[in-house]
Amino acid sequence: MLDNKGFNLWADEYDKEVGLSEEDNSYPFAGYKDVLGGIFSEIMQKKNATVLDIGFGTGTLTTKLYENGCTVYGQDFSERMIELASKKMPGAQLYQGDFSKGLAEPLTHNTYDFITATYSIHHLNNEQKVVFLNELMAHLNDGGKILIGDVAFETRTELEKCAQSEGDDWDDEEIYCVAEELRKEFPQVSFKQITYCSGIIEIPKK
């Protein structure tokens, strides 16, 4: 896993790396724009939504939300990512923090209409995901939703098939979401497949 320094070094090249992978329709960012677009469309159904973005990176999704009237909060591991995103969203409330240890303290004082995590939560193992998602669930407003866009699959079999087909390109350090397994803890999970290796997981507040 990249440490804070690694993420800082990668920050300026991040959007370019994503773009190359998406153009090739290749793992891991195949369908990136469609994943973010699907989450954006869902959030836009609620006027002036309050959104918390976990691992917002350079602010690709959050900037669009910010420009369209959302109140944006965010947490990211990288100081450089926050610096780049803050230039695009000067009114957003962005905090540094390792989300494997939970929410940054200032973010725990608010509730949100939507909590998003795009290409970020795969840095947590399956047990950590459950703990963190339960923490996030407690900070949703009534009718709120957690929206996860990432390399993701409906079943473990589909994930393993993809991993086998990618061979050496597959990143064994990243732990991707499997919808059927998340439903053991969150029965309300729904999953929309976007490409052969990506999708959107939606978890409404119980």
**pLDDT for the residue numbered 65:** 94
CA distance 203 to 144: 9
State residue 12's pLDDT score.
Answer: 45
Give yes or no for residue 110 having a pLDDT over 50.
yes
Tokens for 95, please give them: 């905090």
- For residue 17, what pLDDT is reported? 57
Pick the more confident residue, 123 or 3. Answer: 123
Can you give the residue ranges of every domain in the chain? 4-204
CB 136 within 8 A of CB 22: no
Is residue 165 within 8 A of residue 183, CB to CB? The reply is no
* Distances in whole angstroms, Cα of residue 80 to Cα of each of 86, 87, 98, 100, 177: 10, 11, 14, 19, 27
Query: In the prediction, which pLDDT does 15 show?
Result: 55
Q: CA 3 to CA 61: how far, in whole Å?
A: 23
Q: Say which CATH topology domain 4-204 has.
A: Rossmann fold (3.40.50)
Q: What is the pLDDT of residues 2-55, one digit of tens each?
A: 344 433 433 344 455 555 555 678 899 888 888 888 999 999 999 999 999 999
Which helix (H) or strand (E) covers residue 177, if one does? strand 177-178
Q: Where are the alpha helices (DSSP H) in the chain?
A: 4-11, 14-23, 32-43, 60-67, 79-88, 126-137, 156-166, 179-182
Give residues with Cβ within 8 angstroms of 101, minimum separation 6.
none
Whether residue 200 has pLDDT greater than 90: yes
Note whether 152 and 204 are within 8 A (CB): no
**pTM for the full predicted model:** 0.90
| Percent of the chain scoring above 90 in pLDDT | 78
Report whether 201 contacts 189 (CB < 8 A): yes
pLDDT recorded at residue 22: 55
pLDDT digits (tens, 9 = 90+) for 124-168: 999 999 999 999 999 999 999 999 999 999 999 999 999 999 999
Distance CA 115, CA 104 (A): 14
**Residue 2 confidence (pLDDT):** 36
